[in-house]
Structure 1
């Protein structure tokens, strides 16, 4: 049986898995700390040493990388790894199909094969047009954004971009205050400045300052305080976080009529799913004046799969092998 070696490579961790071609659930998943290996190739060899599939049975290698992949040399922000596609090809063999994907490209390729039970609908269920574009985005370390256009008989077309760095707007006095507070520090405030782990910290600090308190907590501490209910500023921080997120999603939908849906990934929203369901996210998304009726029918989902990036790599590997 033909297999693909798939990996989701970040600055901190590298997730490796194996999957039979035309299957999409990652198997034999191992997570390695990047700091424990001098190079990607050392980590890949360590995985192959414990994997039950021999290299001869692997026909494709698909890597999802947290960073740009359209450069000659792929470098990582938070570790010393670097390589070229030619080096990947040479290491695994010239007979293997090789692809390097941006991490949000990989997420875009997972949409068509996500099990329905891995999706949580936010708001009223709406009709999905499987032939129409979708957005996939998610706050985590940063804010990843990708537009996905379905293609008949071939892999989804994932349009590259840096939507997380678009300007952030405000609609309330509190939002005005937060942006003014952050503008003093950053001059320009992008969406990622509030929609990320760092963004949660920024919102909390700004709301404290509004009350005359000089205080900054880490994102995990704010999240813990939010879940325990013992810190009203943490509660308001997460409420504002969800509202900002809704505003950004609504802006994306205005830019591309994504009748295929909006798919929310990343590490933050699934962690606080109950609060997100009850938040002002959908109201903020739909608060688009005369265009509210344009935005309102767009369905939104939280992706609860453990390894959606690896699933996207698996799907892409199947296309790679099929056309080889």
Structure 2
């Protein structure tokens, strides 16, 4: 049986898996901390040496990469690894079909095979136009965004970009203070500065400073204190995170009328599924003045699949092998 080697290479972890061609559930998944390996090829060698399939049974290799992939040398946005497409081809063999995808392009491809059980609607609207454009957005180590155009034949078209680095805007005094605080540190403030693990930390520190307290918690520490519910700054941090997420998504919908819906992935939001339902997320998304009626019908979903990027790689590998 023909297989694909698939990998979702992020800023913190590299997730490797195998999948039979024309199947989409990742097998033999291993999550390797990027910091433990000097480069991608060291991590790949570790995985290949310990998986059950020899390289001669692998016909395709599809990598999802946290950063732009249309550069001569591919660098990661939050990871010191780098390589060229030619180095990847040479490493795996000239007879292998190779594809390098942006990590959120891969999540965009997973929409083709994502089951209804693996997505949860947030808000009052759930009806989608299957032929309508979609947005995929996800906060984790960084902020990934991709625009997906469904196709009747062949893989979805994913419009390339680095939308996580757009300018962040503020709509009230609290948000003004958060941006002022972040500008003292970064000068220019992108959406990723608040919509990521680092973003949670930044929001917490800024809100604490508004209370006259100099305090910064890590994202994992914020998660721990949220379990107890006795840190009002942490509670306000998560609420503000969801409000910023709603504002950014609303801006995306204004940019492309995404009647196919908006799909939220990444490591943070699925962890706080109950909280996003109770938050001001949808109100912030729809808070677009005269364009509220344009934005409001667009449905938003949280992707609950554990490995959407790997599923997208598996989907793309099937097209890749069929094309050959």
Question: What residue number does 2:103 align with?
Answer: 103
Q: Does 1:162 align with 2:193?
A: no
Partners of 1:226 and 1:112 lie apart in 2 by: 35
Q: Does 1:152 align with 2:143?
A: no
Once the two structures are superposed, the pairs formed by residues 71-150 of structure 1 within 5 Å of their partners are: 71-76=71-76, 81-150=81-150
Once the two structures are superposed, the pairs formed by residues 153-192 of structure 1 within 5 Å of their partners are: 153-192=153-192
Unaligned runs of 5+ in 2: none
- Output the TM-score relative to the length of structure 2: 0.95
Q: Once the 2 structures are TM-superposed, how far is the Cα of residue 76 of structure 1 from its aligned partner?
A: 4.1
Q: Once the 2 structures are TM-superposed, how far is the Cα of residue 218 of structure 1 from its aligned partner?
A: 1.5
Alignment deviations for residues 16-60 of structure 1 (CA, whole Å, 9 cap, x no partner): 111111110001112223344444333323322222222222111
Question: What residue number does 1:317 align with?
Answer: 317
Deviates more, 1:291-300 or 1:44-53: 44-53
Secondary structure at 2:14 match in 1: strand
Question: What residue number does 1:265 align with?
Answer: 265
Partners of 1:78 and 1:211 lie apart in 2 by: 31
Partners of 2:210 and 2:42 lie apart in 1 by: 50
**For the aligned residues, what is the CA RMSD?**
1.6
Unaligned runs of 5+ in 1: none
Q: Once the 2 structures are TM-superposed, how far is the Cα of residue 318 of structure 1 from its aligned partner?
A: 0.5
Question: What residue number does 2:219 align with?
Answer: 219
176 and 102 in structure 1: CA distance in 2 versus 1, 3 angstrom threshold: same
Aligned length: 324
34 and 225 in structure 1: CA distance in 2 versus 1, 3 angstrom threshold: closer
Secondary structure at 1:189 match in 2: coil
Q: Once the 2 structures are TM-superposed, how far is the Cα of residue 278 of structure 1 from its aligned partner?
A: 0.6
Deviates more, 1:47-56 or 1:96-105: 47-56
- Output the TM-score relative to the length of structure 1: 0.95
99 and 30 in structure 1: CA distance in 2 versus 1, 3 angstrom threshold: same
34 and 142 in structure 1: CA distance in 2 versus 1, 3 angstrom threshold: closer
39 and 171 in structure 1: CA distance in 2 versus 1, 3 angstrom threshold: closer
Secondary structure at 1:297 match in 2: coil
Secondary structure at 1:112 match in 2: coil
Deviates more, 1:193-202 or 1:275-284: 193-202
Secondary structure at 1:72 match in 2: coil
Q: Once the 2 structures are TM-superposed, how far is the Cα of residue 157 of structure 1 from its aligned partner?
A: 1.1
Partners of 2:78 and 2:144 lie apart in 1 by: 17
259 and 86 in structure 1: CA distance in 2 versus 1, 3 angstrom threshold: same
